[in-house]
Amino acid sequence: MSGSFITVYTPDSSLASPLRMVRMMFRDLAASRSLGWRLAVRELSAQYRQSLFGFLWALIIPLANTVVWIFLSRSGIVRVADTGLPYPVYVFVGTMLWGIFMDALNAPLQITTVAKPMLAKINFPRESLVLAGIYQTLFSAAIKVALIFAALVLMGIRPGWILLLFPFGILSLILVGTTIGLLLTPLGILYTDVGRAMPLLAQFLMYTTPVVFPMPKSGWAAVLFQCNPLTPLILAARDWIMGLPNTCLGYFLAVNLATVALLLIVWAVYRLAMPILIERMSA
């Protein structure tokens, strides 16, 4: 019998013994790797087994978005300042990158909501849900990146060696998206209002980030864009894939470091919140 380890449940907050909690967090994370992978594979294969267009859905939305913005700028409805790149390329790459961020942002709440029946009945490492979300986001990101490359080749753009930095751009988009998404998850499980407000928040964020039009040069809009921590992420990723030198590397690194710290906190909150959330779910 392996009955040597004892699990104790008491009303005490795990924060009372923080060292033990951190140890448990990483132990559960390690235990979550294979389950997270399985859950992600399950989700993806189920998703595409019951769909005609399958993986194409990862592209259709950013593509549609690109077409809309090209139409808006060509028809003169929206006047877009000079982006330094052919506008279709700028918009296309921008929306693709933004799509990756959005996937990461939505994943934690979405996956946790779907897993409610399982959470309410089975005790498994909760970290696996977060990991599953990250794996799924990585998968759809890979498709998007492949498409960006295909487009670049078609347009005759050759990025050069700086392209090697591009994966970091993608990873930090996923890192920041996951952290914000995970931050909203505990409240979002209790109140559906959070899930409903998310697209609104996302839209606001998108228009204050240089996704479909370039950074404003002056005025309060420029300040707003500068303050948005997503700005350096999108700029860096796009610059790198285009083979352009990046101008905001310091800001990019600062955002990433801050996010890693925030992620640790948000992760702990997620863990602590789970039993309380499950208590309020129907069994």
Partner 1 sequence: MTEPLVKVDGISKKFCRNLKRSLWYGVKDLGNELVGRRHGGNGKLRRDEFWAVKDVQFEVMPGECIGLIGHNGAGKTTLLRMLNGLIKPDSGRIEMRGRVGALIALGAGFNPVLTGRENIYISAAVHGLTKKQTDAKIDDIVEFAELGEFIDAPVQSYSSGMAVRLGFAVAVNTEPDILLLDEVLAVGDMAFQTKCLNAIAEFRRRGTAFILVSHNMHSISRYADQVLYLEKGHIAHIGDSLQGVERYLADMHQADRGVESGLTDWSLVHGSGKVVFTRARFRNASGDQVTAIETGEPVTLEIDYERYVELDEPPVLDVGIRDREGIVYQGTSESGGMSLGKLSRKGCFRVNFEELPLNSDYVDFAFAALDRSTNEVMDWKRHVRLWINRRGAQLGRIRLHVTWSVHASEVELSSEQPS
Distance (Å) of CA 91 to CA 11, 130, 275: 52, 30, 43
Rounded CA-CA distance 128/42 in Å is: 13
Residue 96 · residue 237 · CB < 8 Å: no
Minimum Å gap between C-beta 30 and partner 1 is 11
Minimum Å gap between C-beta 122 and partner 1 is 6
Minimum Å gap between C-beta 112 and partner 1 is 14
Minimum Å gap between C-beta 135 and partner 1 is 13
Binding stretches for partner 1 (CB under 8 A): 1-13, 15-16, 31, 34-35, 38-39, 42, 45-46, 49-50, 117-124, 186-187, 190-191, 269, 272-273, 275-280, 283
Minimum Å gap between C-beta 11 and partner 1 is 4
Q: Which is nearer to partner 1, 46 or 201 (CB)?
A: 46
* Residues in contact with 216: Cβ distance below 8 Å, sequence separation at least 6, in sequence order: 81, 222, 225
Q: Which is nearer to partner 1, 18 or 160 (CB)?
A: 18
Distance (Å) of CA 276 to CA 10, 147, 273: 13, 42, 5
Rounded CA-CA distance 132/108 in Å is: 9
Q: Which is nearer to partner 1, 124 or 251 (CB)?
A: 124
Integer Rg of the chain from CA: 21
Q: Which is nearer to partner 1, 32 or 178 (CB)?
A: 32
Name the nearest CA neighbour of 33 among 141, 137, 106, 127. Answer: 127
Rounded CA-CA distance 212/93 in Å is: 9
Q: Which is nearer to partner 1, 19 or 227 (CB)?
A: 19
Minimum Å gap between C-beta 38 and partner 1 is 5
Q: Which is nearer to partner 1, 10 or 75 (CB)?
A: 10
